[in-house]
A and B are shown apart, each in its own frame.
Chain A
Amino acid sequence: MISTNQILINSNYNSVIEMNNAITLKKLVTNQSIKIEGLDVYIENQHILKDINLTIPEKSITCIIGPSGCGKSTFLKTLNRMHDESPEVKISGKVFVNDENIYGQHVNVIDTRKKMGLLAQRPCPLPMSIYENVAYGPRIHGIKKRKAINQTVIQYLQYVGLWDEVRDRVRTSATRLSIGQQQRLCLARGLAIEPEYILGDEATSALDPLSTKKIEELFIKLKEKYTIILVTHTLRQAKRIADHIIFMYLGKIIESGSTDEFFNNPKKQLTKEYLSGSFS
């Protein structure tokens, strides 16, 4: 039975949807840039990342590939300062995001994290409803007006293609969604804080092929507006969606370049061996 409250909510949504038809995603900062200079990361005195120097091309998909334990995820975590939570991690070097060194003095960590939407390996919906999951980010960043939040939630649920699937149950628990839907919800939740960059840490490794395809299509759609950095284990995925590839091995960048060049004409012997499957 549909309650009066539900009807009110639905009619409210409908008016917002009409408004949304004319709205596209918020226009983002045009100058997105990530530049890394001499980055070294130590975890409990083990040298995990060794002298990383890198520029990430803007508004494109950059895939970081390499065997397990080569430091891909550690690298990704340096970009949104998630290592701050682990005192055993020591970082030296500079990471410039929009020309600001995020490891410099007087940097607001929360602002840095807000610039980076993170999609983790396993979807982790917050213990609240589908609606509240997407609304959570805007709320903690100071948006209070119900109409604005409604609009944001619907806009991003539509963007990730989840709205039509969940519009009748947005007030129910997010954990009742399938794992593929949960991952798209997490993407919508990440986009709702209006980041400039999207980080994906093996974001499709827990998903079935169909859900993987949906997420990959979203990444391709998103690269028009966002700079996307993905860590992946799957060479085929990197080949399918990446514009640029970074190949890491034992904490070092071995080779980087455009996808075509990387797969068709690798320059380093180690890259050739990795691509031929000599080690993984």
Chain B
Amino acid sequence: MICAAMIILGVLVYIIATVFYRGLPALNLDMITKLPGGGFYLGKEGGVLNAIVGSLYIMIGSLIISILISVPLVMFVNFYLPPKSVFAFLIRFSLDILFGIPSIVYGAFGFALMIYLGIRASLLGGILTVAMLIMPIMMRSFDEITRLLSRDLPDALLSLGATKYEMVKVILRQLMPGLVTAILLAIGRGIGDAATVLFTAGYTDNIPASLNQPAATLPLSIFFQLGSPVEEVQNRAYASAIILTVIILILSFSARYFSSKFSKNKI
């Protein structure tokens, strides 16, 4: 058991050490403030601002869509359907299957859907596909947390004469930390995924100005930089990986901070 723990820790330390060892020397202010210039992928000047902004746009857009669909669905399954409902079982079962589908399949499905809808590889396509990828993760984890809620709170609210809708509004306050956890899990999966955005968001050296324009993403940016034969560019890929990690960390900490501020009255 100790051996297994050491292997896990070892792998983690090795990954972080490699990323930082190769990435830190290449990391500079230009990386996060400049767009890739001409010949960036052959070692010339520039940064990955296009990918940073693209990734954030896609993440924010897909989070908005996912939250707007996940929260009502989880509340419906837990508080509107009877506890042993077949429909609720089917929803959870479907989510479990969707949870396990590889992201490249979402990418391919998103691509097919975009062709059907007549959308080009664009920010909108990326947002929709990443939303499809992260929704099952968000729903399933939020659902698990909601199921742990004791019956005391819903009963207390109903006995005060609250309607189901009024009850759900108060329960959501109580569940806010759980929702934040679910969102963080979804961000973790969505922001680092390359396969879903490969066909759907496209890639560009510019910052998208509208939903119809292609958007670059950090995972793809790392992929293209790693594919360069120039070692300096490969090191920039590691620097981009550090940026991605730091973005996830900032998002995690700020979400936790706001959640604790918002739900300071939680039980």
Contact = CB atoms under 8 A, between A and B. Distances in A.
Nearest to A130: B265
A71 interface: no
Contacts of B264: 173
Given A87-B82, A126-B156, A128-B173, A110 B265 contact: no
Nearest to B266: A127
Nearest to A113: B161
A110 B164 CA distance: 10
Nearest to B176: A127
Contact of B153 (A116, A126, A137, A141): A126
A174 B161 contact: no
Interface string A86-103: 111000000000000000
Interface range, B side: 20 to 34
Interface residues of A, number: 33
Contact of A127 (B84, B160, B163, B267): B267
A137 B160 contact: yes
Contacts of A116: 159
B170 interface: yes
Nearest to A44: B84
Given A173-B264, A173-B265, A175-B266, A190 B155 contact: no
Nearest to A128: B265
A80 B159 contact: yes
B160 A140 contact: yes
Contact of A114 (B83, B152, B161, B166): B161
Given A85-B155, A126-B170, 19 more contacts: A80-B159, A82-B155, A82-B158, A85-B154, A87-B82, A113-B158, A113-B160, A113-B161, A117-B159, A124-B152, A125-B267, A127-B174, A127-B263, A127-B266, A136-B170, A137-B160, A175-B265, A175-B266, A189-B160
Contacts of B162: 140
